[in-house]
Amino acid sequence: MALIEGIFEPGLVVTTVDWVLNWSRKRSIFPMTFGIACCAIEMIATGAARFDIDRFGSGAFRATPRQADLMIVAGTVTFKMAERLRRLWEQMAEPRYVIAMGACAISGGPYHVHGYHVVKGVDQVVPVDVYVPGCPPRPEALLEGIMRLQDKISTHTIAKR
**What is the nearest approach in angstroms of ligand SF4 to the Cβ of residue 88?**
18
76 binds ligand SF4, rule: CB under 6 A: yes
Instruction: Give the whole-angstrom CA distance, residue 28 versus residue 6.
Output: 23
| Angle made by CA atoms 70, 56, 2, in degrees to the nearest 5 | 45
Select the residue interacting with ligand SF4 from 32, 104, 128, 149 (CB under 6 A).
104
Query: How big is the site for ligand SF4, counted in residues (CB under 6 A)?
Result: 12
Q: Which one-letter amino acid corresponds to residue 34?
A: F
**What is the nearest approach in angstroms of ligand SF4 to the Cβ of residue 52?**
22
**What is the nearest approach in angstroms of ligand SF4 to the Cβ of residue 131?**
12
Q: Starting from the edge strand earliest in sequence, which strands make up the sheet with 97-101, in order? A: 70-74, 97-101, 130-132
117 DSSP assignment: T
Select the residue interacting with ligand SF4 from 22, 29, 35, 37 (CB under 6 A).
37
Pinpoint the alpha helices (H) of 75-154.
Answer: 79-91, 103-107, 139-154
Select the residue interacting with ligand SF4 from 31, 35, 121, 136 (CB under 6 A).
136
Select the residue interacting with ligand SF4 from 29, 32, 39, 118 (CB under 6 A).
39
Q: Which one-letter amino acid corresponds to residue 17?
A: V
- Which residues lie near ligand SF4 (CB under 6 A)? 37-39, 75-76, 102-104, 109-110, 135-136
